[in-house]
Amino acid sequence: MPNLLEIKDLVVGYEKGPPIVEDFFLTVEAGEVLALVGESGCGKSLTGLAVLGLLPAGIQIKKGKILFKGKDLAGLSPREYVRLRGREIAIIFQDPMVSLNPVFTVGDQIAEVLCWHQGLSKKEALKQAEALLREVGIPAARERLKAYPHELSGGMRQRVMIAMALAGQPALLIADEPTTALDVTIQAQILELLAKLREQHQLTILLISHDLGVVAELADRVAVMYAGRLVEMTTCHRLYQQPRHPYTEALLEALPRPGKKTLTVLPGVVPPPGKRPEGCKFQPRCPGARKNCTREEPPLKEVERGHWVRCFYA
């Protein structure tokens, strides 16, 4: 499978200050679901935002390449980015209330995207918006077109966001913690919906989550991020069966599973940018750290075909 997205040697950092995402590598193959996981503050969201040219003010791409369909996005003009967003790459966030406009009905908001991306008339766009709402599993879609975001439940709002993302017929969907704000039953329904849409639209999905349990349902491959770096990337199956990085092991240890009596929580927190230790960034929390881990940062190595690990003792 060709790579739809390939991120190489990426450094994202404060305009004046330390790097946040460093020496970052990631590939997303056409048609797959790649999960990007790691604890809070690892740099997952910033990586997603960098792809879309939506980094917050004061944070910028310092180095590296973001190749989408072979073209480097890091050099796009703001105008080219506007054309790319929605049409080629769409994003959904954790809290749809932030992304939906509270003063317009959901029908008008979806129709606007359709008019903009597909040049439809308002009437045609509303008809298609209704079809999209039906597709994402919203009951009584025609009536819902006239609803305002606050009149819908959290799960329904997330479905509306997904409908809006689909409206531009993007090749890549970046879903940043799409189910984190929802309760577990709704969470499962949204994941099911994403799985269905992926089949029907040949969607490629970059699924960002702090929860390895959530992504197991949907992901083909998993990329684990720690302190701004990729530390392990392989197929979902391999990662759960044979993790090679101590950080991945620790994340799996903390995951509840059937038959498991005790959960081991990894002590400590992710060091923030500017306060990251010498050598391997994970060594202060690593049970297997040795002397050289404190001096030298291990390089990212392909230990087996398609299985990448950043550890001297993988």
Q: Which residues bind ligand ATP (CB under 6 A)?
A: 20, 38, 40-46, 56, 210, 272-273
Q: Which does 77 bind (CB under 5 to 8 A by kind): Mg ion, ligand ATP, none?
A: none
Q: Given the complex with ligand ATP, which of 94 and 283 has the nearer CB atom? A: 94
Q: 85 - beta bridge partners?
A: 89
- # binding residues, Mg ion (CB under 5 A): 1
Instruction: Determine the residue type at 40.
Output: S
| Torsion angle in degrees (nearest 10) through CA of 288, 18, 173, 213 | 30
CB of 15 to ligand ATP, least distance (A): 11
Q: Given the complex with Mg ion, which of 98 and 103 has the nearer CB atom? A: 98
Q: Given the complex with ligand ATP, which of 44 and 159 has the nearer CB atom? A: 44
The alpha carbon dihedral of 275, 229, 278, 263 has a sign of positive
Q: Which does 276 bind (CB under 5 to 8 A by kind): Mg ion, ligand ATP, none?
A: none
- Tokens linked to 103: 């003063």
Q: Which does 273 bind (CB under 5 to 8 A by kind): Mg ion, ligand ATP, none?
A: ligand ATP
CB of 180 to ligand ATP, least distance (A): 8
State yes or no: residue 179 binds Mg ion (CB under 5 A). Answer: no
Q: Given the complex with ligand ATP, which of 12 and 156 has the nearer CB atom? A: 12
CB of 303 to ligand ATP, least distance (A): 24
Q: Which does 41 bind (CB under 5 to 8 A by kind): Mg ion, ligand ATP, none?
A: ligand ATP
Give the Å distances, CA to CA, from 249 to 212, 263, 274, 296: 11, 12, 26, 21
Q: Given the complex with ligand ATP, which of 106 and 223 has the nearer CB atom? A: 223
Task: Output b/e per residue, 12-46; b: 16+ Cβ within 10 A.
Answer: bbeeeeebbbbbbbbbbbebbbbbbbbbebbbbbb
- Tokens linked to 5: 């997205």
CB of 271 to ligand ATP, least distance (A): 9
- Tokens linked to 16: 């004046």
CB of 313 to Mg ion, least distance (A): 29
State the first-to-last Cα distance of the chain, in angstroms, to the nearest integer: 27
Strands 172-176 and 89-92: parallel
CB of 39 to ligand ATP, least distance (A): 7
Q: Given the complex with Mg ion, which of 90 and 311 has the nearer CB atom? A: 90
Q: Which does 178 bind (CB under 5 to 8 A by kind): Mg ion, ligand ATP, none?
A: none
Q: Where is 19: in which H helix or E strand? A: strand 19-29
Query: What is the distance between the alpha carbons of residues 77 and 75, in angstroms, rounded to a whole number?
Result: 7
- Tokens linked to 163: 């409908």
DSSP 248: H
Residues 31-50, interacting with Mg ion (CB under 5 A): 45
Q: Given the complex with ligand ATP, which of 197 and 214 has the nearer CB atom? A: 214
**To which residue do tokens 């498991």 refer?**
260
CB of 20 to Mg ion, least distance (A): 12
Q: Which does 279 bind (CB under 5 to 8 A by kind): ligand ATP, Mg ion, none?
A: none
- The answer to whether 266 and 251 are in contact (CB under 8 A) is yes
Task: Note the residues at the interface with Mg ion (CB under 5 A).
Answer: 45
